[in-house]
Structure 1
């Protein structure tokens, strides 16, 4: 709808439309006038409606809060005028775009805005982002010098002449730096025997290599490509024991040692990491005695060596992710083997999506220049903006981007197809509660470049009454402000001298024969305090209420004027219950509204037949969100972290009991199984969306795995068999012992009757008689 309109003209158009809508308010409407005169305090008056103004002249007899037309009797110098929403761009805050050759590079326009913001009235402004040609590039080459990466050192001998030409195609303003890493020099990561300590390559090669180290920063940022190449070529390889390296420790130091490393203030910052190893992370360092949690202290000495490699544990992935975002640094993973390539792809997809890029490094590493090009353009073509509003809880911010440059603005803060053409974004600011201070300063920032737009916000609705020169009344039971005593509860009168116990209810009747507050409220201090949903001076009006009984669905969605709701903050319908927003119709930014299986109506999904769930994500066969998120949840639980990322969406993970999970999530439930140690754990989880973040509530129940249970049963059975065998052997021994005792007693008994001759002696002479001789005889 704004196609082919210049950015500045578009900005002025947006501002003029907003101002025109404020200036053409129908302040003469009776309903608005009635709303104004009901206000008793200056701040409340200005915040009630843009048409309401306050007279703080002590001699003014009329209603101090009123529309401007009815305050003609009030001196102009004694008026606290309501300020309309508007945006002003000072001349110095709208400098033209520049390229990389300029002293001050400008890619955002405008650079400074004055915003006047009233409560509950959205204010829009538009800015333009245009990538600068030859924008400075700081490329830090972080070398993996393990023995298996020897080829990537030698390849620099052949690409030395091509590197400058390749980088010049990206930008003419580039600088290079170099550092290398291995691992913590301690068991179980490194062999500590004297011969292998000094030459860790001796285990598998006759070649001599350098003693191990955790991280060395060899060369600060320089434009001298030859010096950079020589530093890499002259590096010596080293080796460690396991297949995991200390790259995260090296990245941590590169990020926190700004002065030693020499990062430029305004540049695109990229770390190039060629590797064929996996990554040690938080908790692994305990094996080597490194137990302290790493902090943001720079631990590099003057020669670039890591001074405390065995003091601090490895950093966590979450810590590195947060630092990459804070320092606005990107990282290119150039990975050698296919199996490890999948590991880094998963890591980048789940955690480093906005700050990381993964490419496959060929065996001879000759495609390193190609990977630099791909990673660079991957980061350049994506842009994402944000405003940090943690200091103001009442300020709501929404971004709308024209990523396709068609004049159609969709609600998004990021574009992923940026070329050399300018891209327009519109920001909508809404103050959802009473301002707590007079002004504030915020910044529109981009994720990867160190440029920002300054927003100097002035909140309207604060009364200063600077020109008040009348007598300050001595308020007996209240405070004097803007020409009037602001009384404490239960007190009224000009000086707050009258107690509200007075029984005069005439001011609470609309006529002499009318009821007090029309029986719809109580008369307190001569003024009707209406029961919801009634309103008006005499509680004579009744506005529509929402299902939960709130008038006009609550003050954040609408105001009751007479007997009609005036909707605010993109709400509509008679009771202001229908939101025009679609934020609750998808769980994360990259997701389709209602999963593509329904329509978003009043910020709620109405699902097509066969689909159900808050986001129409479920059918009879599966739940698409469970399939989308369950791997992220599993990895987070296994790594012991309670925060993860899905794309640009932050995921908070909290373990709760089953009753709480069911009470909060109803039927939005997923289930998975993980293995931790010797346990098989069933994870039941559900998801909620709150404040733009995704919250997963999990319940875990674990049992011993079948293998572990079988092993335990086998050990117990073996122990029982051994015990039984020992018992039977003992019984057999005891039986033999008893038999031997019996034989010994028998021997002792027989030994008393023996003669001198051995009782077992047998005479060798045998005598035989001839029977025939005996017969003749």
Structure 2
């Protein structure tokens, strides 16, 4: 309990010092949703705006100005009119790194100031360098548990104070050791806190055992004697609160604890950045070596982190350490860094797609345990360079026309002050004297009042291709069709989203085909109305040929001949095997026997039979050979189909031996033998069971013990009476 109170008091004393990537999207579809240059560049990093005059054609809305750079160039937009602002990184201050701490101004972290201009969704990276300077100053604050069990430790620490300072002098010439910040004054150097205890600590929530439920307020409540006087009012601080205070003050704690409390403080150290734990002997005699080892471990670990990162800005670190490289970390970290050894961190920033903010936003980067910081200023690209409006532009040919980024706009007083409506530039060439006629020509979405039918008819004539304006797929603006998304053409007659779908995608997806004007144009490997038929035949090929020679390959799938089954047409349950199919022809041609012996030449003219002698056969079985029963012999042959011809190799005639009688005799003898065997086994089993029962009976008889006893009702016929007078005689 005392241990945690001292940690808490220390924390209160030092307190005053104190895009992700989304799934891959097609930018071509995203860009078409925007109607201004600023909306275009904010929609996707690949979206570019064309500010050229008269860039849009019939059937195109102003949203077609926003597309990918390649698409706009292919459509004829000059490079000078492409609005594609890119992010920049500028190093504003970069003081060289120092080799030792003897210099007037020690620099271990560079650069010192960075400016970035970020476009939404675009990543920008800059490099941060760090090098440990030799002899960097140290301030050590020793905090001790003053419970009675630590009394002998306190005496040893008093004696070892000079030894601690001597050890730290081996690292740096500038060392200060103190016990209270307000009196010794922390310097802006490496700060070490050594906390010694032989017991575990308390944490937030333990105060409830004493009825204390008010959380720590983060302030120091010490009286004039240096005693904490609100112990019965505020609960213990939480581990997170303590970690926040130590990190904000750039203090690196070293927990020197005895073995019984070591596991607890090891868990605490994992929650506090740049902290170390060491095992303390019962009398604290090893505290000097413990501090030396802990400092070496802490100083060789470099943690780069960000402070006060503005909302909407994302950051990641790539750490290039002496022994490894780590990418995509939430903070930079390297271990085992030696003095005058440089480590590099690549810091990557990107903006949230919906967090476009004007003005500078700032945050800091720092290495835990060191007093240096990097100031980072971030500015967001939210507008195009062409958005400075040209009022009353001659291109717009009107007193109310403002020109910006290739499009004209006007302020419509009839819909409220300052409301801007955008019109296609073709509306602004020759303005009629009558506003009725002007607005009659623009009968699209910007009509504000009703006009005579004849004016409307004249204005809509340019949008008519039949009876429905713009085929019902767009709106008539200024006598021209402004088509809906995925629709184009002078009269919006082509719909690039009305093709057949395969597996939920138009024309099966971009890898299979594209939809153009309602028809799928398939790639070279696909065909069909929805590009769903693959021209590949790889899944139809078998060793026997396409679809095992019993079908055709359509859309990379086998269509089997009648009777054949499975994916490769290799099975035919109702079909004869080649052995069965050609056995009769083989028998009649080779041996002139069988069912076809009378018309063998007519029925088996396509079969060519070759006889094999026993010497050629060699007595070896061969794979794929058939054995069928003939009229009076067993026929062994091999079939090879060659188009319409069939080549058959036949082994010499093998006589069939009749083993019927032997089989019947053997079967009868077997039945008799099995019957006798069953009877014998039954009798043997019964005999063995009887012998066991008899043996058990005889054993029980031998263990019987009968006691002789006289019937108590029995009276003997003879009675003997003894006269006591005659006993002496």
* Structure of higher CA gyration radius: 2
